Amino acid sequence: MNTSERTRNRSSAQSETDCAACPSNRRCWGEALPAETVHARREPPLERGARLLEQGSSAALYIVSSGCLVLRVSQPDGAQRVVGLRLPGELVGLESYAHGKQMYTAQAASPSTVCRLHLPALGEGATRGGLLERLLLKSAAQPDRASAPWAGLPAVERVAAFIENYSQRAHLPAREDPFKLPLTRADIGSYLGLAPETVVRALGHLSQAQRLAVRGRTVRLGGPTR
C-alpha cells in the first residue's frame, strides 16, 4: 500500500515520527541526531519467537530498537542455518533493496522492538541525503561484513569470539556485567558451524579456564587475561 508515498502524510501516518524526538535515538543513530534527518515508524513489539521478516518476502528495512533478532536462511536441502544476529542499532533487511526480496528470515530471539525505515524510492530518483548517508555508514559498519572472523579457529575459540563479539555489540553498562545470550546452544552452533554439543563443551572449557562464567544462558566475561 504505497498509494500516497510522495505526499508527506506525516500527520496522517500513525506513528511515523522523527527519530530525533525518540528517547532512545542514541542507541540507534549515535550521538546527536539533528531533527528532520531520519523518520521511522515504531512497529508493535515482537514477542520471543515472532517473525519480522520471511525469506523471500518483499523489500523492507528495519532498525532494531531493543531485543535481538536472529537471521536464518533455509538451504536447498531444507536445513535452516543461522547467518546473523541483529542487536539494537543494527539494520535488518537492507540486503532486500539490492536483491529485490528478503535474503533471510528474521525472528525475535528475545522480546524486541523495531522501527521501520522508509527508504525514499531507493533505486531511482534523487534524494535529500541525510538518511542515505547514515544508512551507508550503518551498512558499512554492519557486522558480518568481512567474512567470518572466526573461520579456522578451534571450536573453543570460535565460541569465545562469538561471545566476545556479542558482548561488544550489546550495549552493556560495563564489560564485567553478566548478560543473557538470547540464543540456544543449537543456534550458536548453527551460526558458528558447530554441533550444539560442541558448543556446550566449549562453554565448559571456557568456564573451566576462567575465561567466562556460564550458568544456563547467562554469561559473564571474566578471567585475568583479556
CB 60 within 8 A of CB 116: yes
| Distance (Å, whole) CA 65 – CA 180 | 17
By CB under 8 A, is residue 142 in contact with a second copy?
yes
172 is in the binding site of which of a second copy, DNA, none (Cβ under 5 to 8 A by kind)?
none
By CB under 8 A, is residue 157 in contact with a second copy?
no
Is the torsion defined by CA of 151, 185, 142, 94 positive or negative?
A: positive
By CB under 8 A, is residue 103 in contact with a second copy?
yes
Q: How many residues make contact with a second copy (CB under 8 A)?
A: 44
| Distance (Å, whole) CA 72 – CA 205 | 28
By CB under 8 A, is residue 196 in contact with a second copy?
no
The single-letter code of the amino acid at 142 is: Q
Cell numbers that stand for 191 in this block: 551460526
By CB under 7 A, is residue 149 in contact with DNA?
no
Whose Cβ is closer to DNA: residue 7's or residue 75's?
A: 75
177 is in the binding site of which of DNA, a second copy, none (Cβ under 5 to 8 A by kind)?
none
By CB under 8 A, is residue 26 in contact with a second copy?
no
- Site residues for DNA, 158-217, by CB under 7 A, read 184-186, 189, 193-198, 200-201, 203-204, 214, 216-217
Closest separation in Å from C-beta 175 to a second copy: 18
Closest separation in Å from C-beta 184 to DNA: 3
186 is in the binding site of which of DNA, a second copy, none (Cβ under 5 to 8 A by kind)?
DNA
DSSP code per residue over 198-218: HHHHHHHHHHHTTSEEEETTE
Cell numbers that stand for 217 in this block: 544462558
| Distance (Å, whole) CA 219 – CA 182 | 11
- Site residues for a second copy, 173-192, by CB under 8 A, read 190-192
Q: Among candidates 186, 171, 175, 183, which has minimal Cα distance to 212? A: 175
Find the radius of gyration of the CA atoms of the chain: 19
By CB under 8 A, is residue 126 in contact with a second copy?
yes
Whose Cβ is closer to DNA: residue 56's or residue 154's?
A: 154
Whose Cβ is closer to a second copy: residue 94's or residue 114's?
A: 94
DSSP code per residue over 64-80: EEEEEEEEEEE-TTS-E
Which one of residues 19, 33, 85, 156 is an interface residue with DNA (CB under 7 A)? 156
Q: Among candidates 93, 83, 140, 139, which has minimal Cα distance to 117? A: 93
Which residue ranges make up the site for DNA (CB under 7 A)? 152, 154-156, 184-186, 189, 193-198, 200-201, 203-204, 214, 216-217
